[in-house]
A and B are shown apart, each in its own frame.
Chain A
Amino acid sequence: QKEVEQNSGPLSVPEGAIASLNCTYSDRGSQSFFWYRQYSGKSPELIMSIYSNGDKEDGRFTAQLNKASQYVSLLIRDSQPSDSATYLCAVKGGTSYGKLTFGQGTILTVHP
């Protein structure tokens, strides 16, 4: 079992729709959770961080965390073509200082 799992997609949504990206993790002691966006040929860019159960909203992005289910998700409202990218879920484990474990990423395509 992979430590951090994402559906690789591709996930295709129409412009203006809600894109829902999901991630599960295996380490129950994990403390910190991040979503990064990576455009093709570029390095990842941090878009959301979440540390406690519940929802965290930032503009069109909402991160949701459920530690009991070991599940974290990212919702993108009013999706735009410019949101088309690979979204990486990253988890900081309970024991490894600072080290992030990445999922394989979900490719999102927003079509006009």
Chain B
Amino acid sequence: GAVVSQHPSWVICKSGTSVKIECRSLDFQATTMFWYRQFPKQSLMLMATSNEGSKATYEQGVEKDKFLINHASLTLSTLTVTSAHPEDSSFYICSAKRQVRAEAFFGQGTRLTVV
């Protein structure tokens, strides 16, 4: 199967600081990566879709200046939460897919706590 590695698995940061989360596809080239946020007892909410070498497409209501996404290579995408606030505390999960396949595989997720 396809392996997607996400780092860090958890992070605690102070309000007002920025946090970067990395998502790597370890054994395949990911033409598209997706970033989700999940609050407790809720389903996954897609934040943005990123294609290698192009700007990310953000879902309605997601602030692109707050959640910076970079997909610089076929194996790495990053999500930076800028000027984090307590309401940004959530479980952030990336997923990646190959160009010719429909399945998407998830990273382990990052639990962000902003204090």
Q: Using CB atoms and an 8 Å cutoff, list the residues of chain A in contact with chain B.
A: 31-32, 34, 36, 41-46, 49, 51, 88, 92, 97-105
Enumerate chain B residues within 8 angstroms of A42, measured Cβ to Cβ. Answer: 108-109
Residue of B nearest to A107 (CB): B41
Do A98 and B43 touch across chains, with their CB atoms under 8 A apart? no
Enumerate chain A residues within 8 angstroms of B111, measured Cβ to Cβ. Answer: 41
Q: Check B34 for interface membership: any CB of A closer than 8 A.
A: yes
Residue pairs across A and B with CB atoms within 8 Å: the count is 51
Chain B: interface size category: 20 to 34
Could you list some 9 contacts between A and B, CB below 8 A? A31-B102, A43-B107, A44-B44, A45-B106, A46-B1, A51-B102, A98-B104, A102-B43, A104-B43
Chain B, 3-24, contact with A by CB distance < 8 Å: what is the 0/1 string?
0001000000000000000000
Query: Within the assembled complex, what's the spacing in Å between the Cα atoms of A88 and B106?
Result: 13
Do A88 and B103 touch across chains, with their CB atoms under 8 A apart? no
> Chain B's nearest CB lies how many Å from the CB of A74?
16
Do B109 and A43 touch across chains, with their CB atoms under 8 A apart? yes
Query: Within the assembled complex, what's the spacing in Å between the Cα atoms of A98 and B104?
Result: 8
Q: Using CB atoms and an 8 Å cutoff, list the residues of chain B in contact with chain A.
A: 1, 6, 32, 34, 42-44, 46, 49, 93, 95, 97, 102-109, 111
Residue of B nearest to A92 (CB): B102
Do A49 and B102 touch across chains, with their CB atoms under 8 A apart? yes
Do B103 and A46 touch across chains, with their CB atoms under 8 A apart? yes
Do B102 and A32 touch across chains, with their CB atoms under 8 A apart? yes
Query: Within the assembled complex, what's the spacing in Å between the Cα atoms of A74 and B102?
Result: 19
The 8 A-B pairs with the shortest beta carbon distances in the complex, nearest first, are A43-B109, A32-B102, A43-B106, A104-B43, A98-B32, A102-B44, A43-B93, A44-B106
